[in-house]
Amino acid sequence: MMDDRKQKVLWAIVHDYIATAEPVGSRTIAKKYRLGVSPATIRNEMSDLEEQGFIEQPYTSAGRIPSERGYRYYVDFLMRRQELSKEEEDLIRREYKVKVRDVGQVIQRTGQLLSQLTHYTAMVLPPRIGISSFKHVQIVYMHQSQAMLIAIMDNGTVQHRLIEIPESITAMDIETISKVLNAKLQGQAMKSIKLNLVKDIFSELARHRHILDLVMELVQESLTLEFEDKIYLGGVFNMLNQPEFRNVERIKTMLSIMEQEKLLCNLLEGGTGDEGVTVRIGGEIDQWNIKECSMITAPYSIRGRKMGFIGVLGPTRMEYAKVISVVDYMTKYLSQTLEQVIRGRRK
């Protein structure tokens, strides 16, 4: 049913269409890909492939373009990964060598690299803070009714927020509270903060219940809101050079999707969830009206724990062979870099 020659023809169609964005005709294949048969034969094969749903015609008597199913078959069986070039690897290595000053910075740089290497839109989800644990908690008195609550996590992120305090509390009080919080929270993961711990702190801080409420609120919010919704995008306008965006309407829908961070986070996290690179093609992204787009995503992890995701969004007519390699390579590099940042094993 899918003999060798048919595979070759399908491969040629997908390959050529990815390169040119033009429907591919039988003559083109015969000439460019030297299968040793005439256009007429290839036409027959194409007819079969169309019947099986791997390719389609935009209109009668145009060339063929791959269907989503065709891309899927290509990705699963036909494509051979296109490893990164020496220059590209060098570029990545150089970028990551710069002194790290901040986890956010690493994330951002990853996004930039990803879009630069693929020419599509890159998305990076920062490490979830829920999983990491407190390194240090500090409350800083600002003025009579306000203080700044700062939590430093062991993955190198910093959370902060302003809190209102009753005027009766003095700078001294705040220091006491800081100390207690530190003693209790240090080393605890955000997630693992449970009732008994809270009770513990409560008893020690009976006088300052109000502050405590606020702290717990911060913990809560940090966990659910603040960071989860943040996502780094890179090279959104890169994509506009793709010929599929000659149409203004499509640019608009695209960009309006890009402005909805929550949606994007869901998309990124929606990969099959297992280890490696996930490829979703067209309708396989079961979200919204994101049509004719594909996503390639992968989780990165630190010490074996999945911390976040990186991904690339592009048209279905995407250079899968290349992008898959890049994403794979980058997750590894990112995991490694973050691990060094966090454990301090930088040379």
- For residue 315, give both structure tokens: 């048209």
Among 35, 78, 152, 263, binds a copy of itself (CB under 8 A): 152
Enumerate residues 210-229 that contact a copy of itself by CB under 8 A. 221
d(CA 45, CA 67) in angstroms, rounded, equals 16
Give the Å distances, CA to CA, from 260 to 12, 135, 256, 263: 37, 32, 7, 6
**Judged by CB, which is closer to a copy of itself: 163, or 302?**
163
The span of 85-93, 155-163, 202-210, 330-338 binding a copy of itself (CB under 8 A) equals 155-163
DSSP-derived secondary structure letter, 338:
H
Supply the minimum distance, in Å, between the C-beta of residue 138 and a copy of itself: 6
**Judged by CB, which is closer to DNA: 42, or 113?**
42
Q: In this structure, which amino acid lies at residue 283? A: G
Reported as half-sphere exposure (CB side, CA atoms, 13 A), residue 292 has a value of: 12
User: Which residues contact DNA (rule: CB under 7 A)?
Assistant: 22-28, 36-41, 43-44, 46-47, 50, 57, 59-64
**How many CB atoms within 10 Å of residue 157?**
21
**How many CB atoms within 10 Å of residue 181?**
23
Supply the minimum distance, in Å, between the C-beta of residue 228 and a copy of itself: 15
**Judged by CB, which is closer to a copy of itself: 19, or 148?**
148
* SS3 of residue 34 by DSSP: coil
Supply the minimum distance, in Å, between the C-beta of residue 56 and DNA: 10
Q: In this structure, which amino acid lies at residue 7? A: Q
The residues that touch a copy of itself, with contacts defined as CB under 8 A, are 99-103, 135-136, 138, 140, 142-146, 148, 150, 152, 154, 156, 158, 160-164, 221, 236-237, 240-241, 245-246, 248, 251-252, 255-256, 258-259, 341, 343-346
